[in-house]
Each structure stands twice: as C-alpha cells, then as structure tokens.
Amino acid sequence: MAKVSVTIDVNGELYEALVKTSTTLVDLLRDGLFLTGTKKGCGTGECGACTVILDGKVVNACLVLAVDADGGKVETVEGLGDVESLHPLQEEFAEHGAIQCGYCTSGMLMSSKALINRNPHPNEMDIKTALSGNLCRCGGYLQIIEAVKSVVKR
C-alpha cells in the first residue's frame, strides 16, 4: 500500500510523517509520533479513550484517518501540562481522585478541556453531556464531574 505525507501540528509542534491511507490518527499519534497519552480502546468510537481536539473540535482519534487530519491542529493530553506545571484539569482530577486505572483519563481530560474552551461556565448537565462519549471502566464519573466543576469554580 502506498504511503502519503501528512503534516500535522500536534500540541504546537509541527510533525511530518509518511502514513498509509488507512492509518488512523490514534495510530499516527501513538506509533508514529510516540505520543502514547492518547489511548487506543475500542477502535470503534464508542469508549472515548482516544479523544483529542482536532481543529478545536472533540474527535475520536480512532475514527479519523491521519490523511484527513493533514494540515490540522491536534491537541493531546501531552499538551495540557507536565509534572512541573499541571493544567488545572489535571490538578483537580488528581485532587478529586478522578484517576483510578487511568485508561479513560486522557480522553476525559480532553473532552473536559474542549468543553471549558467553548463554555467557560458549564453547568453540571453541560459537563455530563460533554463527557457522555467517554466511558470509565472504574465508574469514577462522580469524581470526574466534581473535578471539572472545581476547575470551573476557579
């Protein structure tokens, strides 16, 4: 299968890669760019583990082809913060015990960030709706919602 060149801005850094036309964005991020914070869960867009922000919109990276993201701007969990400078969402997730096994965490964080980007003062129903595409195997929904509410109160 032929490969094509894609150029993608990921977390403010420009990447160029050769990919098969069937390569998904999650596979490019994880296997091509070694950004493994974005998790590969179901592969069918049902679990939200692979949630990223593409050109300002929440997407399941398992459903987006890398070639369709060519020229786009992608935000992943690696772009939120780091150990020395956590994003407020990361701080509140830790503070509220919203991180259990951690598999859903990156997707939950990115869905929450996208919500706050477009609505800085969401109510609880807005938060629940924004997170409805993300599944938590551990059932930590209450802690996750409380964490997001705490960020909004800041």
- The pLDDT score that the predictor gives to residue 28 is 98
pLDDT of 78-117, one tens digit each?
999 888 899 999 999 999 999 888 889 999 999 999 999 9
pLDDT, tens digit, for every residue of 21-61?
A: 999 999 999 999 999 999 999 999 999 999 999 999 999 99
Residue 34 is predicted with a pLDDT of 96
pLDDT recorded at residue 83: 82
For residue 137, give Cα distances in angstroms to 41, 101, 105, 133, 150: 11, 8, 11, 13, 23
Judge whether residue 2 has pLDDT over 90. no
Exposed/middle/buried for residue 100 (C-beta within 10 Å: 0-12, 13-18, 19+): middle
**Stronger pLDDT, 1 or 26, i.e. the higher one:** 26
Residue 1: what pLDDT?
72
**First-residue to last-residue Cα distance in the chain:** 50
Q: Which of 152, 146, 141, 153 minimizes the C-alpha distance to 48?
A: 141
Q: What is the pLDDT of residues 127-137, one digit of tens each?
A: 999 999 999 98
Q: What is the Cα–Cα distance from 109 to 51, expressed in whole angstroms?
A: 9
In order of their start, the domains of the chain are 3-78 (3.10.20.30), 88-153 (1.10.150.120)
Question: 117 and 148 in contact (C-beta within 8 Å)?
Answer: no
Q: How far apart are CA 147 and CA 4, in angstroms?
A: 41
> How does DSSP assign 39-51, residue by residue?
---SSSSSS-TTE
* Burial class of residue 52, CB neighbours in 10 A (0-12, 13-18, 19+): buried
